[in-house]
Amino acid sequence: MLAKKIKVLVVDDSIVVRKMVSDALRNDPDLEVVGTATDPYVARDKILELKPDVLTLDIEMPKMDGLTFLKILMKHHPMPVIIMSSLTQAGSRMALDALEAGAVDVLVKPGSALFLNDMASELILKIKAAGSSRGASRGGVSAGVGGRIASGPVRYHSKQMIFLGASTGGTEALKEVFMQLPGDLPGICIVQHIPGSFSGPFAERLNSVSAMEVREARDGDVIRPGLALVAPGDFHMILQRRGADGFMVQIKQGPKVMHHRPSIDLFFESAAPLAGLRAVAGIFTGMGRDGADGLLALRRAGARTFAQDEKTSIVYGMPRVAFEVGAAERVLPLQGIAAYIVKAAALASAAKPAL
């Protein structure tokens, strides 16, 4: 149990959703639902009156949509916000806009009794992550982004790959990194904890700012230079050998691993025996410990490994564990990760490197 309960305000125009969310949160001893609001105007008054630690916010509401309210909130009264979004394409894109505007995380808007099971547990985990998030890092992590790193004369090894894992705060952190990476790097595989309906639009958004091609992974996709594959939300992704010299990804269902599907550990552990020596791998911001054991396996196999530092992490959980167990040989600020990836990949293209 947490030393102090996290106070939550639930904002949604649906009385059914407000009740489902409130009932689910009240079952956790670490959380306290201090109130609900039907629209942003009521929410504004209750934020000042009740002083919640975390807000759950519907993205589509009458009078004022959640995205507009979020932008106002982040400007005048910044606080951790979990966005509740529909499964529609428009809802998914607005949810990504909300993450860009400073929301901590997103969750599919609940419907029916399904919410009483996995979705309720997922929301509780996200609220606890939001409650422990670093206010100084929220809202516009891309403000410090540098320019695109120029492609160099390096001839990368045909078996080289780059593996990245992220959770809470990771969508914007990865966006900053991809804005800087050159387009000729070895193939990249990304495991981001994200709902199923959001991973496709997230990959499209990365693609729009990247010199590499970025898209959602499909079963059997071949890893190749200049391509970055994003694990589909609600599916596991693992690495497999393809022929004598190639590699591909397998996309599959299966039980959640430490509450997550996709699981960073599952992917990293599948990659370690196949590509460890020539790999560069890292863990970004997020709550919990997913990825730490897999990153350790990669490091032991010879990969160059890193973790995002505490100051620039929205939630310093996964990177902290990765460092504590000895999985990350380097701890880096977000603004330095792109340059490190390029340098490490260049060194890994020759013999076993030493940074």
pLDDT tens for each residue of 24-69: 899 899 999 999 999 999 999 999 999 999 999 999 888 899 999 9
| Percentage of the chain modeled with pLDDT above 70 | 91
Reference 97, options 202, 173, 176; nearest CA is 202
pLDDT(234) > 80: yes
Please say whether the dihedral angle defined by the alpha carbons of residues 129, 231, 207 and 224, taken in this order, is positive or negative.
Answer: positive
3-state secondary structure of 60: coil
Across 117-124, average pLDDT: 81
pLDDT at 159: 86
Token pair for 345: 């990949």
pLDDT at 111: 64
pLDDT(204) > 80: yes
pLDDT(143) > 80: no
Known catalytic residue at 167: yes
pLDDT(352) > 80: no
| 355: confidence class by pLDDT, cuts 50, 70, 90 | very low
Token pair for 221: 């996709």
How far is the C-alpha of 101 from the C-alpha of 74, rounded, in Å? 8
| Percentage of the chain modeled with pLDDT above 90 | 74
The dihedrals phi and psi of 192, each to the nearest 5 degrees, come to -115, 130
Q: What is the mean pLDDT of the chain?
A: 90
pLDDT at 1: 58
Which has more confidence, 146 or 265?
265
pLDDT at 156: 87
Across 261-287, average pLDDT: 95
The pLDDT tens digits of the residues spanning 90-110 come to 778 888 999 999 999 998 887
pLDDT at 16: 87
Q: Catalytic: which of 193, 221, 270, 309?
A: 193
How far is the C-alpha of 256 from the C-alpha of 340, rounded, in Å? 31
Give the single-character DSSP code of 137: G
Reference 80, options 110, 47, 34, 120; nearest CA is 47
pLDDT(267) > 80: yes
Which has more confidence, 300 or 244?
300
| 151: confidence class by pLDDT, cuts 50, 70, 90 | confident
pLDDT at 264: 98
Across 204-228, average pLDDT: 97
Known catalytic residue at 290: yes
Point out the least confidently predicted range of 101-115, 151-165, 312-326. Answer: 101-115
The pLDDT tens digits of the residues spanning 172-188 come to 999 999 999 999 999 99
Q: Catalytic: which of 167, 197, 210, 263?
A: 167
pLDDT at 88: 66
pLDDT(141) > 50: no
pLDDT(351) > 60: no
Q: What is the pTM of this model?
A: 0.92
Domains of the chain, start order: 6-132 (3.40.50.2300), 149-348 (3.40.50.180)
Q: Contact at 8 Å (CB) between 239 and 127? A: no
pLDDT(215) > 70: yes
Q: Catalytic: which of 290, 293, 309, 313?
A: 290
The pLDDT tens digits of the residues spanning 79-90 come to 999 998 876 667
pLDDT at 117: 65
What pairing do the DSSP bridges indicate for beta strands 187-192 and 161-166? parallel
| 142: confidence class by pLDDT, cuts 50, 70, 90 | very low
Token pair for 293: 């054991």
pLDDT(232) > 60: yes
